[in-house]
Amino acid sequence: MFDNRVFAKPNVLASSVSDYYDEKYLLRQYYEALYYRKSHLLKLWQIAKDMDAAKIPLSDYERRQMVFMTFYKDRPDIARYVLALLSNSKETLRKNPSEDESPVFDWATYKEFASLDTMSPGDIEYKNTLLFCAVRHSNWLAEQDILQQIGRENFTRDTYKILLDNHASHGRLDSFVPFLDLLSSSHMHLLDIRLLNIIIRSLVGLGFPNLSKMLLSAFLQNDAELLSSSDCFLKQLTYSDRTKYSAYLHTYDQSYHGTPVRLFATEQTFRPVVEHYCAVGSNFTDIMRVFFAIEVGWGLPLSSQAFKNVFHAFTTAQYSTEDLQLITMKLTENHDRYYNLDSWVNEKTSQTSIPPNASKILLEVLNNDSPKHHGTDEGAFLKLSNALMRLVFKAYNTTYKNNPEKRAAIGQIETQIWRQLENAKARLPPRFSDRLVPADLYGREELAYIKKTGLLQLLDI
C-alpha cells in the first residue's frame, strides 16, 4: 500500500511508445492513472486512520510515503505533453489536465507538514520528501527553505537526484548548473551510476547532448570488467538487482573511506544518447556504435525500447535500405539469442548480403554471437510487441516509399501477419485465473513465431 507503481509516469506517455497510440487512448490512460492514484490514496488514508485508532504507529518510511503519494504531481514535461494532446484532440475528457487531482502544495501546506511532531527534526529523508513535493509543485520558496534547513554540506545523493532531475525537467538551467557544480566540487563521493544517469539524461533534455556524449565517452571507449555472479546485480536488470544495489549503496555510505563507488553502466546510461541520435537522425554508424558498447562492451541486453527508438528513426530521417536490413537482422538474431532459442534464422540472415561499404563497427555488432557476461533474464527485455512490429512495418514503408512494388509487398506481409495474429489469439483459451498455464506459454510462442516469420519475410523483399 505504501509503494505503488501508479505514482509514477504512466507507461503509455513514455517517449518511446507514445507515438504508437492516438490522442484519445493516451488521454484516457492518463486520466485513468489519475483516478487510480486518488482511489489508492483514499484507501491509504483510511488504513492510516484505522492504525491510529488502534494505536499502531506508522514507521517513518510509511509517513514519508503518505506525504509523497498525497502530493504527487507529474513532471512538468508530462503536463505539457498532455496539454498538447488535449489541444490537438477532439476529446473533451477534461478542460485542463492540470486541474489539480493532487492537493495543492503551497507555502502554508508545506509549513504544516514541515512542523509535524511525529517526524524527527533531523530526518533528512523526510526533508527530501518535502523537497520533492516542493519542486514538483514549483514551490521554489519552500525549496529554498528546505535546502537552508538541510545545509549544503549535508546534501545526500537523493537530494541531488531530486534537484537535478526536477530542475532539468522544469528547464531551469540557471539553477541546474550551480547544483551540478556543487556536486562536482564538494560531493563527488555521492556520485553513483544512478545519479550519473540522471545527469546524462538531464543534459540531453536541457539541450546539451554533446556534454552527455562526453560523459558517456568513457563507457563507449572502455569495456566493462567481467563481473562475478555475485556482482551481476550492478547491471540492475531486475527488481532484485535494484534492491541489492540500493543495499550496496547504503553499505557504501555507512563505511565510506574515500574510495569511489563502482560505476557500472546500465541501460539507462546509454538510453538518452540513443534517443537523441535517433531523434535528430544521426549517422547510423553512431547509433550502432552505442549498441555495440551496450551489448558487447558492457554485457547488457538490448531492450525493446532501444529497437523502437531506432526503427522510429527510419520514419523521420533518411536511412538506407541496407541500414534497415541490418537492424532488422540484429533484432531477429538478438530475439533468438536472448530467449536461448535455436538460431533458426542464422541460415536465412547469413544468405542476406551485407553491403561492402558497411563499416567495421556494424559488422562487429552483427557478427558477434557471444556478448560478454549477460545476465540470466535477457529475454524479458526484448519482446516482439505489437507496438514494435507496427514500427518495423512503418519503417519499411517509409524507407521504401519510392518503390511502389516493394511497398505493396510490405503491405501484403503486414496484412497477413496481423490476420494470423488475430486467428492465433482467438484460439487461445479464455483466462479465468491469473495463474500461468502451459497453454499460455504455447500461445506466446506461436505469436512470437508469427512475428518472427514477418521479420524474415521483410528481409526477403
Q: Which one of 53, 71, 103 terminates a domain?
A: 103
Contacts of 285 (CB under 8 A, 6+ apart): 359, 361, 362
| Torsion angle defined by CA atoms of residues 212, 215, 219 and 225, in that order, rounded to the nearest 10 degrees | -140
Residue 185 to residue 180: CA distance in whole angstroms: 9
The predicted structure's pLDDT at residue 351: 47
The predicted structure's pLDDT at residue 102: 63
Whole-number CA gyration radius for the chain: 24
Spacing of C-alpha 299 from chain mean position:
18
Any domain includes 307:
yes
CB 281 within 8 A of CB 313: yes
Any domain includes 233:
no
The predicted structure's pLDDT at residue 361: 45
Any domain includes 82:
yes
> What is the distance between the terminal CA atoms of the chain, rounded to a whole angstrom?
52
Residue 225 to residue 206: CA distance in whole angstroms: 32
Residue 314 to residue 303: CA distance in whole angstroms: 18
Number of domains in the chain: 2
Q: Give the total residue count for the chain.
A: 461
Q: Which one of 103, 137, 160 terminates a domain?
A: 103
Any domain includes 43:
yes
Can you give the pLDDT of all 461 residues of the chain as single tens digits?
Answer: 566 666 776 665 655 445 556 677 778 878 888 888 888 888 888 888 888 888 888 888 888 888 888 898 888 888 787 887 777 765 555 545 444 456 789 999 999 888 875 555 568 999 999 999 999 999 999 999 999 999 999 999 999 999 999 999 999 999 999 999 999 999 999 999 999 999 999 999 999 999 999 999 888 877 677 788 888 999 999 889 999 999 999 898 888 767 778 899 999 999 999 999 999 999 999 999 999 999 988 989 999 999 999 999 999 999 999 999 999 999 999 998 877 644 444 444 444 444 444 444 445 544 554 445 455 455 568 889 898 999 999 999 999 999 999 999 999 999 999 999 999 888 876 654 455 445 455 557 888 889 999 999 999 98
Q: Which amino acid is at 172?
A: R
Contacts of 429 (CB under 8 A, 6+ apart): 439
Q: Cite the DSSP H helix spans in 317-399.
A: 321-338, 346-350, 360-367, 386-399
Q: Which amino acid is at 272?
A: P
For 239, counting Cβ atoms within 10 Å of its Cβ (0-12 exposed, 13-18 middle, 19+ buried), the class is: exposed
What does the DSSP assignment read for 79-129? HHHHHHHHHH-S--S-S-TTS-SS----HHHHHHHHT-TTS-TT-HHHHHH
Any domain includes 200:
no
Tell me the three state secondary structure of residue 339.
coil
Contacts of 358 (CB under 8 A, 6+ apart): 322, 326
The predicted structure's pLDDT at residue 343: 44
The predicted structure's pLDDT at residue 379: 56
Parent domain of 424: 296-460
Any domain includes 163:
no
Query: Shortest CA distance to 101 belongs to which of 40, 166, 143, 47?
Result: 40
Torsions phi, psi for 281 (to 5 deg): 70, 45
- CA 87, 75, 33 angle in degrees (round to 5)? 75
- CA 399, 401, 406 angle in degrees (round to 5)? 90
Query: Shortest CA distance to 324 belongs to which of 384, 280, 15, 332?
Result: 332
- CA 385, 388, 391 angle in degrees (round to 5)? 150
Q: Which one of 50, 77, 103 terminates a domain?
A: 103
